[in-house]
Chains A and B, each alone.
Chain A
Amino acid sequence: MNVDTPAKALAISIISLVLFITTWELVCRMGFIEPLFMPAPSQILTRAIKMIDNGQLIAHTLASTRRVMVGFIVSSLVAIPFGIFLGSSRFFMAVFDPLISLLRPLPSMSWIPLSLLWLGITETQKYSIVFMGSFAPSLLYIIEATKGIDPLLIRAARNLGASQLDVMREVILPGALPQIIAGLKVMLGIAWTCIISAELVAAREGLGFMIMNGKEYFQTDTVLLGMVMISITVMVIDVVFRKFERRLLPWTR
């Protein structure tokens, strides 16, 4: 089949989605699968309506989103200037390289026990998990992006009277921005895995908590609803991020 327009591709995608959900629904309705293991889409939808009515779904989603955004934004705000600085200074790169190399392989999950010990089951603890999970990889993305700058542009800027600091702000930051944003987009996905795992372990609200709690009460529809909500939220944030990206990079159009 010839898929030559975006509209055609969209139509095919919609049909495929409808087919998938219908098959799932039918398989459940005909009793091939125990609802406890796999509830039908209609059952998840019913659960969703119930939880929207009592406000829980929105509350959990917002709780997780807020945690991801706070942790992610703080981590980016530290990682961007620090990464640019390290990327332009061989001396400080050598100083911090061992520390970064030690931190980088640690999955965010491994920080959960320490963070609980230090901060308790608090919001700050959730932010810290997102921060620890996304900081080191973000930093490496930014250092790499910084190194990709055309040295000729730095020369030209210096020749026009730019100081080292001017070069970082006026050349390296905007020059590396497309790669930095691409890296941060990946990091945002990682930030979500961080927060969900933190909530699965210890939390009183959030999508991770909702999933874990659903499992405790054998509400498999709640578990699946939580998972669907994670997908939807990440997709929505991705769209918002892309709008923001176009705003920030007008010259790439």
Chain B
Amino acid sequence: MDTVTGTKISIQGVTKIFSGKRGEVTALKALSMDVQDGEFLVIVGASGCGKTTLLNLVAGFDKPSEGRILLDGEPVTGITPECGMIFQQYALFPWKTVQDNVEFGMKMKRMPVKQRRERAARFIDIVGLKGFESTYPHHLSGGMKQRVSIARSLANDPKVMLLDEPFAALDAMTRQVLQEQLVRIYEKHRKTIIFITHSIDEALLLSSRIVVMTARPGRIAQEIVNDLPHPRNAEVQLSSRYMALKRTIWDSVQAEVMKSMEVEAD
């Protein structure tokens, strides 16, 4: 992408060890990578490879056992609203209407009511939920809930958006619609995005760069710059370049899955 101007997030030698009842688990080991400003980075990996752990560290929910994470050159020391998180389970507030959910971050910033009303309305419109402002989340479908969650994050104007398998619980049709919507939002708002998935197709459709992570402890197995042309329509998806990329990623993901299964069998 030509708008990439500099390093947004710098992950430097990060190790994360969890100590539990059954001893210590190394979720990440000496992981280093940079995320450029305006980049759409997709992290692919087998389950349990520490992808979510990595996002939690970037968002400041957890602290690395070793190493550090920089956001715009400053170390991340606590939970920061600069990194807006989108969860697979939506995490909408059930007691708040769509409007109030989207307004939440702005309310926390003590933005005047009128201003946040208008801003929320704009983002509700962007995700195509106009007319659902006064609906409570439990009346919405999964896809609609995730769109509210995306609007809620965007309205809070984060520098970085962290998406943790956001579409994994949705049916194939809805997933495709949301993927296209996310790409449009990305192209318009130019947020830096870190997106986690275990779907190689999703990674190829969305990303500007793909990182494949190893089985636990998580490290980088492979890094691929995704140069597929936009829009990534059916034609692109049937191209030989797409197939070649998919095969490369598949091979390294599969190797990691086999490895993690061997570890579990031990």
Report A's interface with B, CB cutoff 8 A: 150, 152-153, 155-163, 166, 170-171, 174-175, 177, 249-251
Q: At the interface, is chain A mostly helix, strand, loop or mixed? A: helix
Number of B interface residues at 8 Å Cβ cutoff, please give it.
Answer: 26
Going nearest first, the 8 A-B pairs with the smallest beta carbon separation are A156-B91, A161-B81, A160-B105, A161-B108, A174-B95, A251-B136, A251-B95, A159-B85
What are the residues of chain A within 8 A of B84 when measuring CB–CB?
159-160
B158 CB to nearest chain A CB (Å): 9
CB of A153 within 8 A of CB of B93, answer yes
**Cα distance A174–B92 in the bound complex, in angstroms:** 13
**Contact mask B112-150 → A, CB, 8 Å, 1/0?**
000000000000000000000000111000000000000
CB of B87 within 8 A of CB of A152, answer yes
Per the 8 Å Cβ criterion, residues 52-85 of B in contact with A are 59, 61, 79, 81, 83-85
Please pick, from B83, B95, B109, B156, the residue contacting A175 in the complex, using a CB distance under 8 A.
B95
CB of A159 within 8 A of CB of B93, answer no
User: Apart from A249-B95, A250-B136, what are 5 other A-B pairs with CB-CB below 8 Å?
Assistant: A159-B59, A161-B108, A162-B104, A171-B93, A251-B137
B152 within 8 A of A: yes
**Cα distance A174–B95 in the bound complex, in angstroms:** 7
B179 within 8 A of A: no
Please pick, from A155, A166, A171, the residue contacting B61 in the complex, using a CB distance under 8 A.
A155
**Cα distance A163–B107 in the bound complex, in angstroms:** 12
B94 within 8 A of A: yes
What are the residues of chain A within 8 A of B156 when measuring CB–CB?
160-161
What are the residues of chain B within 8 A of A150 when measuring CB–CB?
91
A-B contact pairs, 24 of them (CB 8 A): A150-B91, A155-B61, A156-B92, A157-B108, A158-B61, A158-B79, A159-B85, A160-B153, A161-B156, A162-B104, A162-B108, A163-B108, A170-B108, A171-B93, A174-B93, A174-B95, A174-B96, A175-B94, A175-B95, A251-B94, A251-B95, A251-B96, A251-B136, A251-B138
B226 within 8 A of A: no
A119 CB to nearest chain B CB (Å): 40
